[in-house]
Every structure is written in structure tokens, then in C-alpha cells.
Amino acid sequence: MGRGGGHVLVMRILTGLQPSGKPHVGNYFGAMKPAVELQAEGEGFYFIADYHAMTSGRDAAALRENVRELAIDFLACGLNPDRSVFFRQSAVPEVNELAWILSTVCPMPLLNKCHSYKDKVSQGISPNHALFAYPVLMAADILLYDSNKVPVGKDQKQHLEVTRSLATKLNETYGEGTVVMPEAIIREETELVIGLDGRKMSKSYDNALPLFGDEKKLRKLVMKIVTDSTPVEDPKPTENSAVIALYKLFASESDLAKMIADHQSGGIGYGDFKKRLADAYWDHFTPMRARRDELAADLGYVDEVLQKGADRARDEAAKTLSRIRKAVGLI
């Protein structure tokens, strides 16, 4: 796959995750797992979006803590630092310069129509400038590293469209090849993981199933999944069932078929189905949990990975930025 400058290079895959709380099953299937799997197809650039997290939180100690925790989580999920560049966004402050350059070609209506901004404001997050400009910084994250593919969940689709639109504008204004056109990778089967209440799973809806944590608490959460009041002996609906939708993520085809058949036949209660789901979920993350414990006991290693990643990312950013600075006339 070609990148800026006409060189034929390996495909670059990039994604970012905000350190705004414990990652959940939606983050895992929507972004982390695809990112981990795509490592086999190209070079991953994966980062912790700490600048972005500042748009919705103002606790310095919590930010520091969340960055480290997310680094451990992502590594435990299979991010391989020998194959991928793993870093924190703010280790490459150059991204802000590119965000500024992109702002100069960004029409206000493009940002005005972003749902994510409106959703966050309606949830009570203060409507500050950074929150409004969030998609421009995200576009800069992507374009700074000449990314080809960006694995994300469906909720980020519009931000990828903004990114592509800004890339087009920059290339039209300053010449083809100024930046590389990225493409969103959104897997249909996991584009929108349902939460415990049947809505989109999200940290902000208090309906999330975290990837890691205390077993008792996590099993209790599964038991909280909202179901209807069909009596035990009656057949139960299989459409719009959060239990089935989540079980599908973890179960084998035959176990899933059994779960559906047992819903249809009646005679088994929701408590039983939820227990099956809790077991499948718990087993799924067992190897990652073990890896997480090892990493948490070796923070020096985690810091070193992020440091090395930052060095690599900065080198890459310097090259792209110098190309873009030349194209726009800053040098």
C-alpha cells in the first residue's frame, strides 16, 4: 500500500483509545480486538488519547492513573509492542500543530453537525472549545502518521468522515499527496455492542461490562442485565435480547444455538441464561487476565514500551509534519 511521498510501504493501521475509565466489552470488540488482529496485516500505531480525555475530565491524578491502566489493558489484550508502535498521544505534541493546520481548512458546519459533541453536551459535559474541536485533533492523530486503516466502533464513523473530508480539503488546497487518505474499518458484527440496559454499551451510560476486575462484582453486573418478565416455563423472546447479543460475542456456534433453542422452548429462567453468559465472558478473558496480572507487576516494562513507542512515533511524525509544513508554506 502506498503512503505519502510515493514510497511503497507496509499498510499502516492506527487507532486511539481514550483513558477515561475502565475499558469495556464494547471497546474490546469494537476497537481493541480488531486492532490486535490487524497487527498481522501491517504496522500498528496504537495510542492512548490523553489529550482527548481532557475534554471530558479535569482530574490530573486520575488521568495519569488511567493512562497507565489502559496501557496495561491494551497490552494484556494482545497489543504486541514488537510489531506495533504503542504510545501516549501527548508524547507527540506535534499533533497539535497539525490540528491547527487542519483547523484552517475546516468549515464550521462540518463540526456543527457532529453528533458526538451534541451527545456529550446533552450528557452535561461543558461545551468548551476543545470538545467542539475534538474531531479536528482526531483527524490530526490519523493524518500525522499517514494511516491507511483505522479500526473503530460505529460511533466513530462520523469522525472518520470528518477526517477524510479534511484530508481532501488539504490535498485540494495544497496538492495531492500532502496527506494520505485513511479508511475506517468497522466490523459489522461488533460495530455496536449492546450494554446491560440494551442501549449502546458506553462508559457514560453506566451500562458497561468491564474487561477486567473483581470476579464477584463482574458476575453481579451480568446478573443486572435488563430482561422482560416472561415466566420461567414460557418461551422467551430471542430478538432484542441483550443476553443473547452479548453471549454471541463469547460463545461457540453450538453453544449459541443451544442458548437460542432453550429460549424458544421455555422452562429455563433468565437467571440460568445469565449465568451461562457470565461463565462464557469470564472464560473468554481468562488468558488476558493472567497477562494483565504479569504486566501490572512489571510497570517498568510498561513504561519502557510507551517510551520506545513515543520515540518511534515522534520520528514518524517529524517526517510527515515536515512534508505538510513544506506543502502549506510554513517552511
Residues that bind ligand ADP (CB under 6 A): 17-18, 26-27, 29-31, 152-153, 155-156, 190-193, 200-204
**Contact (Cβ atoms closer than 8 angstroms) between residue 279 and residue 215:** no
Q: What DSSP state is assigned to residue 28?
A: I
Please pick, among 203, 236, 248, 274, the residue that the annotation labels catalytic: 203
User: Hey, how many other C-beta atoms are within 10 angstroms of the C-beta on 322?
Assistant: 13
Crossing angle between the packed helical segments 299-328 and 60-76, to the nearest 10 degrees: 100
Please pick, among 120, 236, 248, 274, the residue that the annotation labels catalytic: 120
Closer to ligand TRP at the Cβ: 72 or 144? 144
Partner interacting with residue 201 (select from ligand ADP, ligand TRP, none; CB below 5-8 Å by kind): ligand ADP
Given 142, 166, 194, 246, the residue binding ligand TRP (CB under 6 A)? 142
Q: Return contacts of 304-307, CB within 8 angstroms, 24+ apart.
A: 305/71, 305/75, 305/81, 305/86, 306/71, 306/86, 306/87, 306/88, 306/91
End-to-end CA distance of the chain: 28
State the nearest-atom distance from the C-beta of 205 to ligand TRP, in Å.
Answer: 14
Closer to ligand TRP at the Cβ: 178 or 202? 202
Q: What DSSP state is assigned to residue 2?
A: B
State the nearest-atom distance from the C-beta of 217 to ligand TRP, in Å.
Answer: 24
Contacts to ligand TRP from residues 38-57, by CB under 6 A: 49, 52
CA 158 to chain CA centroid, Å, is: 14
Residue 202, interface with ligand TRP (CB under 6 A)?
no
Instruction: State yes or no: is 200 an active-site residue.
Output: yes
- Cell 475530565 found at: 57
CA 247 to chain CA centroid, Å, is: 21
Residue 24, interface with ligand TRP (CB under 6 A)?
no
Given 12, 13, 16, 169, the residue binding ligand TRP (CB under 6 A)? 16
Q: Which residue is nearest to ligand ADP (CB)?
A: 30
Q: How far apart are CA 259 and CA 41, in angstroms?
A: 34
List the one residue out of 275, 190, 261 whose CA is nearest residue 225.
275
Residue 88, interface with ligand TRP (CB under 6 A)?
no
State the nearest-atom distance from the C-beta of 156 to ligand TRP, in Å.
Answer: 5
Closer to ligand ADP at the Cβ: 30 or 135? 30
State the nearest-atom distance from the C-beta of 34 to ligand TRP, in Å.
Answer: 11
Given 156, 202, 207, 320, the residue binding ligand TRP (CB under 6 A)? 156
Partner interacting with residue 193 (select from ligand ADP, ligand TRP, none; CB below 5-8 Å by kind): ligand ADP
Partner interacting with residue 202 (select from ligand ADP, ligand TRP, none; CB below 5-8 Å by kind): ligand ADP
Give kind and range of the element (H or E) at residue 183. Answer: strand 183-185
Q: How far apart are CA 202 and CA 196, in angstroms?
A: 10
Contacts to ligand TRP from residues 159-178, by CB under 6 A: 159
List the one residue out of 197, 183, 211, 179 whose CA is nearest residue 42.
183
**Contact (Cβ atoms closer than 8 angstroms) between residue 157 and residue 188:** no
List the one residue out of 311, 328, 3 whose CA is nearest residue 147.
3
Given 91, 133, 150, 162, the residue binding ligand TRP (CB under 6 A)? 150
State the nearest-atom distance from the C-beta of 159 to ligand TRP, in Å.
Answer: 6
Q: Which residues bind ligand TRP (CB under 6 A)?
A: 14-16, 18, 49, 52, 138, 141-142, 150, 152, 156, 159
| Residues classed as catalytic | 120, 200, 203
